[in-house]
Chains A and B, each alone.
Chain A
Amino acid sequence: MIAGALAVLAVAVGLVLMALSESIVFFHMPSDIKAKAIPEGQRIRLGGLVAAGSVKRGQGTDVEFAITDTAEQITVRYRGVLPDLFREGQGVVTEGKLEAGRIFRADTVLAKHDETYMPPEVAKALKEKGLWQHGTPPPAVTVPQPAAEKK
């Protein structure tokens, strides 16, 4: 019986290691993309602040915006409905792949539940760059609130 339990455990460890090597996704800020030379086509999470004035709606549900960490900026293309709390000037995390010409093709824009919530990776990266502190609004939040409010 103990052998059986160990066998189950061994299978589980194998599954965990295999799954971890295949399905983890690294988080990067726009500056990292250049500095670490992230290859195109690798699935990553890209986070930072939505650059003020960068949100452009295209055909249908296509939308384009830029993610910035104030040093570097990356253009993100996304097809779909943006989360309710997506705003210019606020923290955002997207998931997808880098394409030719430093365009990030996102298939997921992570939602959040609360206006003041800042994803910890973004918060930490911004703090390391001295751009943001706990309890204060993010640096670019003074931008006029975009279209969503105009009903």
Chain B
Amino acid sequence: MIVELGHFALVLAFLVCLVQMVLPMWGARVGDDRLMGVAEPAALAQLGLLIVAFAALTHAYVVSDFSVANVYANSHSTKPLIYRISGVWGNHEGSMLLWVLILALFGAAVAAFGTNLPATLRANVLSVQASIALAFLLFILLTSNPFARLDPVPAEGRGLNPILQDPALAFHPPFLYAGYVGFSMAYSFAIAGLIEGRTDAAWARWVRPWTLAAWMFLTVGIAMGSWWAYYELGWGGWWFWDPVENASFMPWLAGTALLHSAVVMEKREALKVWTILLAILTFSLSLMGAFLVRSGVLSSVHAFAVDPKRGVFILAILMVFIGGGLTLYAWRAPSLRQGGIFAPLSREGGLVLNNVLLTTATGTVLVGTLYPLALESINGAKISVGAPYFNATFVPLMVPLLLALPFGPLLAWKRGDVYAALQRLMVAGLLAIGAIVLVFALVERGPWLAPFAIALGVWVIAGAISELLFRVRVGNADVAEILRRLRNLPRSVYGTAIAHAGVGVMVIGITATSAWQSETILTMRPGETTRIAGYEINFKGVAPSDGPNYREVIGLMQVSQGGSRIVELAPSKRQYNAPPQATSEAGIHVALMGDLYVVLGDEAGDGAWSVRLYFNPLVRLIWIGAVIMFIGGALSLSDRRLRVGAPRRVRRPTHAPAPAE
């Protein structure tokens, strides 16, 4: 009964979407307030109905109702409660339901908090938002119904793929989807702006918080996925340039560019046409990501078995929204008025450079991801594009970006003084040079470029701090004055500096672990000892153990350093009973300088086991960097000037003090 209620709510949500798509846009066209007024209650009703549908499916999972095909295929009664719940979105149908739920959540947020938006803009935005939801609801109802029943009812479910039974992965999809879907707001605003033929600073002020929120979720979602891949898959890597990973990374890159270009549009009314295009492209890349992941057209280590028919449907959705968006753009964009002229060396110029480099980098990732598909359809050759391609194209584009990054916030709008900025970054530059010398002195092996990459990270962090110090006039004012200025600095300035510092932290982590990772693969008999990165690892043997829904063999590893025992690691090989599938659980010892990472391999005969050991220096900084970026974003989001409904244009004396001109 509850299941049918969920299905019914889903169908109702579809109908509500239809109303929400047609009436408000019509109302905005003819200027009818009552028709436009349909949008808000419809958006809220849509959210309510989808909550009912989602709750119904969750209920079926929690009580293990195996009469529902989706529950039967992806759940099992012995599974712990948290994985029964996360199992709701750990499969295709459920994850699409989560997708539309989050979509509705964003739409409802506009309806509930968008009271200060112009009425026509709000009606158009909600209408476009509803059209996206409509397409995906149709997709769910026609090809991926999560509420389909089974007859006869099976006694037991097939279980969730064991590698998905993991805390980080339980929350990875919701964050990722909140990011993907969050960019739909930017898209809806862009389309609404094009329909009205009017976009201005107020438009950008509205788009920015949504884009920022989506970007924050996507940052954390990607970082969580990377963290999960790192400890759960037992390969010791954190990023593989795999198509599925790239699918989430491209919207992130484009979204980062959008975040920065929207600043220019809000503050200076410049880059309008470009920002609108970027908003359309960012969501298009999100949709393409959904297509690549859900259709299985690309060979991926993260891909799951899929039904190819669904891919065609998503491809159709993709074509309608990307094609439609770009056509409208081509038609209407020339009528948008450009404002704000600026010199190349200015804050705007810096943000343009940021955009050029980020979008070009997105382009290289896109080419590398889609090239195998293109080549196969042209001459049938099957190829793969791997990490060497991305390292050779993506990394060179990031170097100038990171070099230029600290300059941006120090340049004034309209016309900046690079020489003055350079003076303010003197200390940061010296620190970076110091880092090169220090790393060369301390590390004897590894690529010679690595110390420079570390220095780049230091440069970005020190640059971000220099900017804050300059803004509070350290060196030019007394302590009381500095403290007063620190208090009065807008949160978005802190947010920017913190997020930029997070990038620097991540760069250091990526460089260190890529350049100086140690790896050993060997077979060990009980009692044998091996060494890696200053640790001695003594293999004491294996012990069987039983979990709630698996059996495992645990390898007992005593880790010592310089003769003193540090920790006992227990990497294991698990055999899950439903579905019957083997997984490896790595044993990880986290220390200040890096992770010791131990994987138990297969039994190699007469009591010996193959064992894989890694030492990943500073690898945690990668995810810590992502968290710092998230915190920076959150601080910016909480800034009064960005907050929805805040009075417009509160100028503060300390904001953007013009450097000497």
Contact = CB atoms under 8 A, between A and B. Distances in A.
Nearest to B303: A117
A70 to B, nearest CB: 18
Contacts of A19: 368, 388-389, 392-393
Given A57-B605, A84-B582, A151-B575, A112 B303 contact: yes
A119 B352 CA distance: 40
A5 interface: yes
Interface in A85-117: 85, 93, 95, 110-117
A61 B364 CA distance: 37
Contact of B371 (A8, A20, A120): A20
A12 B362 CA distance: 11
B396 A15 contact: yes
B602 A24 contact: no
Interface in A41-94: 45, 57, 60-61, 79-82, 84-85, 93
A130 interface: no
B299 to A, nearest CB: 5
Contacts of B580: 115, 149
B421 interface: no
Interface string B329-352: 000000000000000100001001
Interface string B284-311: 0000000000001111011111011000
A28 B383 CA distance: 9
Which bracket fits the contact residues of A? 35 or more
A60 B382 contact: no
A5 B296 CA distance: 35
Interface in B549-608: 551, 553, 573, 575, 579-584, 599, 601-605
B201 interface: no
A23 B305 contact: no
Interface of A is mostly: mixed
A22 B599 CA distance: 33
A52 to B, nearest CB: 18
A28 to B, nearest CB: 8
A121 B243 CA distance: 14
Contacts of B234: 81, 84
B163 interface: yes
B159 to A, nearest CB: 11
Interface string A10-49: 0110011011101111111000000000000000010000
A22 B575 contact: no
Interface string A126-151: 00000000100000000000011101
Contacts of B638: none
A124 B377 CA distance: 13
B440 interface: no
Contacts of A110: 301
Contacts, number: 149
B612 interface: yes
Given A1-B352, A4-B344, A57-B605, A27 B301 contact: no
Name, among B301, B521, B584, the residue most crowded by chain A CB atoms within 10 Å (CB to CB): B301
A118 B303 CA distance: 9
Contacts of B308: 134
A24 B304 contact: no
B244 to A, nearest CB: 10
Given A23-B386, A134-B308, A112 B367 contact: no
B165 interface: no
Interface residues of B, number: 63
A120 B573 CA distance: 28
Interface of B is mostly: mixed
B599 A81 contact: yes
Interface in B442-460: none
A81 B363 contact: no
Contact of A117 (B304, B371, B604): B304
Contacts of B382: 26-28, 121, 124-125
Given A61-B521, A61-B523, A117-B304, A27 B384 contact: yes
A60 B520 CA distance: 12
A148 B551 CA distance: 13
Given A8-B357, A82-B602, A113 B304 contact: yes
A150 to B, nearest CB: 9
Contact of A12 (B360, B522, B612): B360
B489 interface: no
Nearest to A81: B601
Interface in B248-278: none
A2 B301 CA distance: 40
B298 A61 contact: no
B381 interface: yes
B397 interface: yes
Nearest to A79: B521
B121 to A, nearest CB: 30
A45 B389 CA distance: 16
Contacts of A45: 384
A111 B388 contact: no
B535 interface: no
B367 A16 contact: yes
B360 A85 contact: no
A90 to B, nearest CB: 12
B356 interface: yes
A111 B383 contact: no
B601 A61 contact: yes
A24 B385 contact: yes
Contact of A60 (B361, B573, B610): B610
Given A8-B357, A12-B363, A120-B299, A151 B392 contact: no
B388 A112 contact: no
A111 B385 contact: no
B370 to A, nearest CB: 12
Nearest to B397: A12
B581 A23 contact: no
Nearest to B610: A61
A25 B356 contact: no
17 contacts: A4-B353, A15-B393, A16-B364, A16-B368, A19-B389, A20-B389, A22-B388, A25-B386, A57-B602, A84-B573, A84-B581, A111-B233, A114-B304, A118-B305, A120-B298, A125-B382, A151-B553
Given A16-B367, A81-B602, A121-B299, 19 more contacts: A1-B344, A1-B349, A5-B352, A15-B393, A20-B367, A20-B389, A23-B385, A57-B605, A61-B604, A81-B601, A84-B234, A113-B302, A114-B161, A117-B303, A117-B304, A117-B305, A119-B299, A125-B382, A151-B544
Interface of A: 1, 4-5, 8-9, 11-12, 15-16, 18-20, 22-28, 45, 57, 60-61, 79-82, 84-85, 93, 95, 110-121, 124-125, 134, 147-149, 151
Interface of B: 161, 163, 233-235, 296-299, 301-305, 307-308, 344, 349, 352-353, 356-357, 360-361, 363-364, 367-368, 371, 381-386, 388-389, 392-393, 396-397, 521-523, 544, 551, 553, 573, 575, 579-584, 599, 601-605, 610, 612
